[in-house]
Amino acid sequence: MLLLVFVVLVAAACSPETENQEKETVELTISAASSLQDALREIKTEFEKDYPYIKINYNLASSGTLQQQILQGAPVDVFLSAAAETFDPLVEEGLIDSDQSVDLLGNEIVLIVPKGTQSEFSSFDQIVYAERIAIGTPDSVPAGIYGKEVLENVSVWEKTESSLIFAKDVRQVLTYVETNNVDAGIVYKTDALRSDKVEVAAEADEEDHTPIVYPAGVVSSGNHPKEAALFYQYIQNDKSMDLFKEYGFKDLIK
């Protein structure tokens, strides 16, 4: 009887759940493009259930801002960018582990207007008639870069420059449109889908902009490489990818 009790206690002590509970709590900093925040919020909940000793802290901003933070030595464990332009240079400089980086997701660029308005815009070239157009700052916001490319390729960039309201990230663009502070805005399709205060007036032709890619990778200087690798792999599993797709993202790893 005593032997049986001893075996049961040893088995319990060696169970994965017990091992998780006994491990020291680790906090990971995940820098991610702001357009990912809703999907990542759900992934955080599921990940922390599976790994209760790991706490996820998100640092959400435009990809250009996050890139600069990493270049300046900010303590980051994993980076999820909304563009290769703000990710690949970090790989080239050895700041992102090339063996732990992947093109994770895709997206689309759309033109949105406040819901219920009598919009005259059914294509991107028609926004020359808008008085105020919100767009992410092209110098640092990938959605702004893609949006500028679209406007240039439909030959209206120069005609609309004086009407553009630049935003710090794509979520600010969405807010401007939701609150009727602008006539139209250029955002990702995933952002448009999450709001019941806007509607899509037009979708950009994929040929009019650089392919939209969300790369992800482990930051080489991170303080918790093992736990960072766990999260990096977790966002690629079927459960996470299905969740991303629910929010309108495209799966690029299949």
Are 163 and 132 contacting, i.e. CB atoms less than 8 angstroms apart? yes
The annotation status of 170 as a binding-site residue, yes or no, is yes
Long-range pairs for 97-103 at CB < 8 Å and ≥24 separation? 97/217, 97/218, 97/219, 97/220, 100/217, 100/218, 100/229, 100/232, 101/215, 101/216, 101/217, 101/218, 102/215, 102/216, 102/217, 102/236, 102/253, 103/213, 103/214, 103/215, 103/252, 103/253
* 143 annotated as ligand-binding: yes
Specify binding-site residues for molybdate.
35, 63, 143, 170, 188
Specify binding-site residues.
35, 63, 143, 170, 188
